[in-house]
Amino acid sequence: MGRRSRVEVIIDILSEATKEVNKTRMMYKCNLNYSCFSKYFNELLKKGLIAEVHSIHNGVKKYKTTEKGKELLEVLRKAKEFISI
């Protein structure tokens, strides 16, 4: 198995964030290092595909895929399905 494409990484992050999750958990579940994860995460956050849902009392923030992000996730999954025939 080779490197994942940009689309595959975005699919992984948006999929993991469909349930409320903190950044560290998301980073580990997506198997990304901090630098790479931060680049993708910040881009998705800026574009409104992921949003902060709330902060827990200890300062840990939770994030979730937005409706716009869920729509993109569905489109990307379908496109990936068509491509990998």
Provide the whole-model pTM: 0.89
Q: Which domains does the chain have, with CATH numbers?
A: 6-78 (1.10.10.10)
Q: What is the reported pLDDT for 16?
A: 96
Token pair, residue 32, equals: 């990304």
**Which position has the token pair 């840990």?**
60
**Which alpha helices (H) appear in the chain, and where do they start and end?**
6-16, 23-29, 34-46, 67-83
Over residues 25-54, the pLDDT tens digits come to 999 999 999 999 999 999 999 999 999 997
With H, G, I as helix, E, B as strand and everything else as coil, classify residue 38: helix
Is residue 85 very low, low, confident or very high in pLDDT (cuts 50, 70, 90)? low
Token pair, residue 15, equals: 């999929």
